[in-house]
């Protein structure tokens, strides 16, 4: 059986690098293992929590709508929201276009 070299591809500083696993220090390997755990276990759980919170907010909004009075309110036009910016920000925006 041929002697196979185990390699590891890692994105570092915007470039994809390939390393021979046998040449990596143990601390680097442990860091990669921790990052893989985060990516494969923690991040999906957090994504699911965010999805459930967003679902809960939609349910709460629907329930709130049924609790609010159907008369005696004013509809506010969202198009009239104005965000003010310092004059120098406006000049920089015009220059960058």
Residue 83 maps to a domain? no
36 in Cβ contact with 20 (< 8 Å): no
Whether 93 has a pLDDT exceeding 70, the answer reads no
Residue 20 maps to a domain? no
How is residue 9 written in tokens?
């591809």
Whether 22 has a pLDDT exceeding 70, the answer reads yes
Number of domain units in the chain: 1
The partner residues of 7 in beta bridges, in order of sequence, read 20
The confidence score (pLDDT) of residue 55 equals 97
- pTM score, whole prediction: 0.54
pLDDT band with cut points at 50, 70 and 90 for residue 90:
low
Residue 26 maps to a domain? no
The confidence score (pLDDT) of residue 59 equals 97
The confidence score (pLDDT) of residue 4 equals 83
Residue 13 maps to a domain? no
Element (H, E) at 9: strand 7-12
Name, in order, each residue with C-beta under 8 angstroms of 71's C-beta and a sequence gap of 6 or more.
none
Whether 62 has a pLDDT exceeding 90, the answer reads yes
Whether 94 has a pLDDT exceeding 60, the answer reads no
- For 40, the domain range is 31-68
Residue 52 maps to a domain? yes
């Amino acid at each position: 059986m041929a002697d196979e070299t185990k390699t590891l591809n890692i994105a570092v500083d915007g470039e994809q690098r390939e390393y021979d696993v046998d040449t990596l220090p143990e601390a680097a390997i442990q860091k990669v293992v921790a990052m893989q755990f985060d990516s494969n276990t923690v991040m999906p759980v957090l994504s699911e929590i965010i999805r459930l919170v967003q679902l809960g907010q939609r349910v709460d909004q629907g329930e709130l709508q049924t609790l609010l009075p159907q008369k005696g309110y004013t509809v506010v036009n969202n198009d009239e929201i104005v965000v003010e910016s310092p004059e120098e920000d406006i000049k920089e925006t015009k220059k960058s276009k």
